[in-house]
Copies of this chain bind each other. A is one copy, B any other.
């Protein structure tokens, strides 16, 4: 925490952002346990001292990187939950389909699935990371639950053996399961994932 020559705040933000991106890349490449401040500093062309000026420790850096990633995912989900102003956007069925089609792009990081798995496994003994995990679950649940409830209200959808909450958790399970499959090298392509989600939703919510 040495004193720094004054710099415009946007420059400091840009540096922090670059460090966090490099940290997320390192998490994807090697897992959080193998992330070193020195490697991150090297990747962004800064000294370790500069990295430490923004992030006091390795643990702090990892926590901030996971937290930033979580905020990005939540922003994206928030965006997805706004009804579109095209006519299709008004029908719950198509809003659900649109949401499924957008799943692949959530998180603005091509390896979102790997960061998500690393976050879930690392949250084991870290309350801050567990809060991130809880927030992501809550964000996805809210997105889908809002659309499902709307479709039920308008009698576009019908429930059978499963409650609305259970149908939503089934969507989440399929998304998380394909995230795991993707990390494991057995994932479907994005189009197939979207098709499977749409078909499952149409079948579980037949109106």
Q: Contact residues of A with B, CB < 8 Å?
A: 30-31, 33-34, 114, 117-118, 120-125, 130, 133-134, 137, 160-162, 166, 169-170, 172-181, 183-186, 188, 192, 195-196, 198-200, 203-204, 206
Contact = CB atoms under 8 A, between A and B. Distances in A.
Contact of A179 (B170, B174, B180): B180
Contacts of A117: 117, 120-121, 180
A31 B121 contact: yes
B121 A185 contact: no
A181 B174 contact: no
Nearest to A166: B196
B174 A170 contact: yes
A6 B115 CA distance: 48
A101 to B, nearest CB: 15
A162 B31 contact: no
Given A133-B185, A177-B174, A162 B204 contact: no
B175 A120 contact: no
Closest 6 CB pairs of A and B: A173-B177, A177-B177, A33-B33, A176-B177, A203-B203, A176-B180
A196 B121 contact: no
Contacts of A166: 188, 192, 195-196
